């Protein structure tokens, strides 16, 4: 069976074609979306969990590559008094629940996709992310196949998922270029093979979102797709419509692309820094009147930065916070930061910021409880605070839109453009889109939507399914790509 597989930064989803319509399979208890999270009682247990779920023909090679981790996993089970069958690694909503119950005792990773293109990863770190992605894909594939049978959508034999088109951002990392993209695709490809997929292909996520929109078009259009997701923002300028959608090669229709690792995760971190970290000492003074250094506060919330999180967890950071407590005018604030460091509560703070961000989509003010830090502690967050926090991110989204339209203009120039297809924005020739199609979970924010619509006020804006459009497009393309 062919599927579209959105291995997202915030959520994962799988779609199948039923006739001419796309159906998303329920991967969570009450949702088609599985949170992109993993929790292990010890990181060495991840390799063990992968090994147990591997296809038989891959076990020997994997056991050889991960011999050290598998050996340590046996020791860890003994140390934790876990029998051989006790579950010790969790995915999705179960991972979130396990982390909230035992934040300081295990290994938790949110949005592993955000790390796949990171520069400077050591071989053992690449291996760890290979295992994390493999385990998540194993879980999702088994869940999806079970749902197909349970809901009577396929027999047990027909329900075997063999081929998938996986979405990918235009750029996994802003600074790593194509080397980062190759690294990330290699991790995803290997993980898919180990999870039991026979073949996979990749498609830019904004293109996938655009293809879902295209399915309903009655006339040709030039579309600027703006996909503001959990980990990245991607823009594509694509010629779409009845005369284009039947083509198997869409390369000539794709006029411009841009993308950067700036998404919902970054907005959550920025909001956590601006709204919550002042309650932990950010912006306060030391007894000598000098401002408190900001670096430990940033490291505390930068959960999508490997080096920042590694630095925050070190003994030297704990000693630094101890020294700051002694020198602070308000030492009680710094003691809260020390608790975050000691009990590994960074993800809980950023998760709280995410919930505040969502609440501010419908309200001007929201109250966030920080009682997991200290009794009666809370923070009021309003839209002004949120908009100030994300202003740098909004500027980057604007730049990506201009970049894609400028690149599209160059493509049209090379193809003998019609003058009416161009406009001049910010002193640079840009392609003039017929419509802007906005998708991605983060684009639900009124501040994001207002920014996008303000840039091209005369261009119609269509809002797609914020969460499902990418998966739907991937599913449509999987049917076309693998059925050739």
What are 377-425's pLDDT values in tens digits? 999 999 999 999 999 999 999 999 999 999 999 888 865 444 445 554 4
Please tell me the predicted confidence (pLDDT) of residue 40.
96
CATH 3.30.420.40 residue spans of the chain: 219-263+393-464
| Phi (first) and psi of residue 134, to 5 degrees | -60, -50
Please tell me the predicted confidence (pLDDT) of residue 360.
92
**Quick one: what percent of the chain has pLDDT higher than 90?**
74
Per the prediction, the chain carries an average pLDDT of: 91
Mean pLDDT, rounded, for 350-369: 94
Please tell me the predicted confidence (pLDDT) of residue 421.
53
In the predicted structure, residue 203 carries a pLDDT above the cut 60: yes
Choosing among 3.40.50.300, 3.30.930.10, 3.30.450.70, 3.30.420.40, the CATH entry for 219-263+393-464 is 3.30.420.40
| Phi (first) and psi of residue 112, to 5 degrees | -60, -25
User: Do the strands 428-431 and 422-425 form a parallel or antiparallel pair, or are they unpaired?
Assistant: antiparallel
Higher pLDDT, 175 or 89: 89
Mean pLDDT, rounded, for 210-218: 90
Mean pLDDT, rounded, for 209-234: 91
Note the maximum CA span of the chain: 73
Interatomic CA distance for residues 165 and 174, integer angstroms:
23
Which has the closest alpha carbon to 168: 130, 212, 200, 136? 200
In the predicted structure, residue 50 carries a pLDDT above the cut 90: yes
In the predicted structure, residue 427 carries a pLDDT above the cut 60: no
User: Do the strands 107-110 and 34-35 form a parallel or antiparallel pair, or are they unpaired?
Assistant: unpaired
* Position 429 confidence tier, pLDDT thresholds 50, 70, 90: confident
Higher pLDDT, 59 or 467: 59
Please tell me the predicted confidence (pLDDT) of residue 273.
97
Please tell me the predicted confidence (pLDDT) of residue 251.
82
Please tell me the predicted confidence (pLDDT) of residue 163.
97
Interatomic CA distance for residues 4 and 167, integer angstroms:
8
Mean pLDDT, rounded, for 20-33: 92
Mean pLDDT, rounded, for 62-75: 96
Please tell me the predicted confidence (pLDDT) of residue 418.
47
* Position 306 confidence tier, pLDDT thresholds 50, 70, 90: confident
Class of domain 2-197: alpha beta
* Position 446 confidence tier, pLDDT thresholds 50, 70, 90: confident
Cβ proximity of 88 and 49 under 8 Å: yes
Mean pLDDT, rounded, for 194-207: 95
Cβ proximity of 470 and 227 under 8 Å: yes
Alpha carbon 167 to its chain centroid, in Å, reads 11
Token pair listed for 160: 């075997």
Does an H or E element contain 426, and which? none
Token pair listed for 106: 């295990």
In the predicted structure, residue 426 carries a pLDDT above the cut 60: no
Please tell me the predicted confidence (pLDDT) of residue 424.
46
**Poorest-pLDDT segment among 229-238, 293-302, 333-342:** 229-238
Cβ proximity of 465 and 472 under 8 Å: yes
What are 126-142's pLDDT values in tens digits? 999 999 999 999 999 99
Mean pLDDT, rounded, for 45-71: 96
**Residue in the structure block whose two tokens are 């991605």:** 440
Token pair listed for 358: 């969502």
* Position 174 confidence tier, pLDDT thresholds 50, 70, 90: low
What are 232-258's pLDDT values in tens digits? 899 999 999 999 988 888 888 999 999
Burial of 161 (0-12, 13-18, 19+ CB in 10 A): buried
Mean pLDDT, rounded, for 144-161: 92
**Quick one: what percent of the chain has pLDDT higher than 70?**
96
Interatomic CA distance for residues 286 and 293, integer angstroms:
9
């Amino acid at each position: 069976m062919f599927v579209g597989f959105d291995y997202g930064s915030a959520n994962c989803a799988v779609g199948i074609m039923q006739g001419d319509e796309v159906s998303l399979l329920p991967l969570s208890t009450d949702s088609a979306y599985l949170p992109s999270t993993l929790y292990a009682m010890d990181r060495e247990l991840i390799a063990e969990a992968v090994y147990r779920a591997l296809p038989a023909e891959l076990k020997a090679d994997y056991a050889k590559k991960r011999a050290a981790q598998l050996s340590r996993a046996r020791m860890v089970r003994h140390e934790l008094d876990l029998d051989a069958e006790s579950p010790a690694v969790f995915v999705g909503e179960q991972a979130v629940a396990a982390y909230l119950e035992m934040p300081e005792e295990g290994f938790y990773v949110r949005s592993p996709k955000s790390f796949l293109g990171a520069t400077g990863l050591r071989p053992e770190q690449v291996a760890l992310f290979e295992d994390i992605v493999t385990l998540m894909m194993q879980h999702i594939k088994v869940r999806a196949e079970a749902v197909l049978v349970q809901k009577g959508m396929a027999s047990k034999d027909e329900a075997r998922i063999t081929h998938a088109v996986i979405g990918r951002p235009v750029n996994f990392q802003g600074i790593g270029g194509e080397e980062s993209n190759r690294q990330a695709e290699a991790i995803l490809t290997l993980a898919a093979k180990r999870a039991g997929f026979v073949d996979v292909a990749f498609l830019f996520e904004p293109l996938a979102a655009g293809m879902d929109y295209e399915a309903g078009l009655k006339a040709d259009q030039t579309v600027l797709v703006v996909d503001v997701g959990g980990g990245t923002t991607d823009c594509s300028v694509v010629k779409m419509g009845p005369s284009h959608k039947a083509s198997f090669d869409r390369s000539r229709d794709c006029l411009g692309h841009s993308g950067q690792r700036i998404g919902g995760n970054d907005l959550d971190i920025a909001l956590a820094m601006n709204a919550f970290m002042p309650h932990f000492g950010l912006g306060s003074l030391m007894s000598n009147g000098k401002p408190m250094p900001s670096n430990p506060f940033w490291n505390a919330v930068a959960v999508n930065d490997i080096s920042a999180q590694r630095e925050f967890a070190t003994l030297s950071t704990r000693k630094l916070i101890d020294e700051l407590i002694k020198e602070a005018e308000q030492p009680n604030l710094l003691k809260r930061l020390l608790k975050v460091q000691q009990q590994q509560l960074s993800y809980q703070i950023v998760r709280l910021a995410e919930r505040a961000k969502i609440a501010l989509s419908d309200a001007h003010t929201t109250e966030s409880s920080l009682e997991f830090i200290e009794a009666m502690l809370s923070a009021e967050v309003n839209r002004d605070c949120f908009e100030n926090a994300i202003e740098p991110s909004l500027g980057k989204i604007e730049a990506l839109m201009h970049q894609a339209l400028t690149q599209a203009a160059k493509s049209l120039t090379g193809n003998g453009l019609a003058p009416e297809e161009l406009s001049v924005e910010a002193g640079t020739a840009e392609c003039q889109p017929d419509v802007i199609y906005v998708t991605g979970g983060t684009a639900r924010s009124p501040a994001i939507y207002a920014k996008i619509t303000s840039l091209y006020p005369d261009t119609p804006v269509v809002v797609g399914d914020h969460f499902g459009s990418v998966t739907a497009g991937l599913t449509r393309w999987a049917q076309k790509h693998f059925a050739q």
